[in-house]
Amino acid sequence: MTSQTTQDAAPAAEEQPTPEDRIQMLEAELEQLRAQVLLDRADMENQRKRLERDVRNACRFANKQLLGDLLPVFDSLEAALNSAPAEDPLRDGVVLTLRELSRVCENNGLVEVAPNPGDAFDPDRHNAMSVVQTADVPAGTVFQVFQKGYVLNEQLLRPALVSVAGQDAA
């Protein structure tokens, strides 16, 4: 029985790692843990940056609905100015109201898109409602503006409605 116990103990001793092997295993495990920590840090940093960007965009576009709802007010005030006689005393009040409304909206990132006749047609900011055959302005440019457009913090809120000059048939 003692010889058998000695034989059983011998393989158990061989299975035990040497201190050098144990050190190598622990160093390899430590390297794996360091690599995992670096990955976790990178993930956390990416998530932090993503959240910062989302918060920044949420702040920039938080008033998008409100400013979008104000666009018909701009249209109405401008229509009132276009139809009011120059000597009408209410005209000055409408001008001041429109100016103040424009100032407040511009401070919140709203920019008017109002091309002039002859300006290049920009399909990213203009919506062509018709093509007009004319020699007054070059082909492919804005001929007339029906409705101004607006951009909020470089994002199109409403395109300008325009007619575009086509090739003159003459």
Do 95 and 146 fall into the same domain? yes
Domain termination site, one of 19, 40, 60: 60
Q: Confidence band (pLDDT; 50, 70, 90) for 4? A: low
pTM of the complete model beyond 0.75: no
DSSP classification of residue 85: -
Do 159 and 91 fall into the same domain? yes
d(CA 113, CA 124) in angstroms, rounded, equals: 11
For residue 78, which amino acid is it?
A: E
DSSP classification of residue 126: E
Do 98 and 148 fall into the same domain? yes
pLDDT tens column, 41-67? 999 999 999 999 999 888 878 888 899
pLDDT tens column, 90-145? 999 999 999 999 999 999 999 999 999 999 999 999 999 999 998 888 999 999 99
Distance of CA 36 to CAs 29, 39, 64, Å? 11, 5, 42
Q: What is the CATH number of the domain that holds 85?
A: 2.30.22.10
Beta-bridge partner residues of 132: 165
Do 14 and 45 fall into the same domain? yes
Do 27 and 106 fall into the same domain? no
Do 72 and 53 fall into the same domain? no
d(CA 86, CA 125) in angstroms, rounded, equals: 32
Number of domains the chain contains:
2
Range of the domain at 129: 64-166
Do 75 and 53 fall into the same domain? no
Q: Confidence band (pLDDT; 50, 70, 90) for 167? A: confident
Do 16 and 72 fall into the same domain? no
d(CA 121, CA 84) in angstroms, rounded, equals: 30
d(CA 157, CA 159) in angstroms, rounded, equals: 7
Given a contact cutoff of 8 angstroms between Cβ atoms, the answer to whether 46 and 40 are in contact is: no
d(CA 40, CA 26) in angstroms, rounded, equals: 21
The sheet with strand 142-147 has its strands ordered as 126-133, 160-166, 142-147
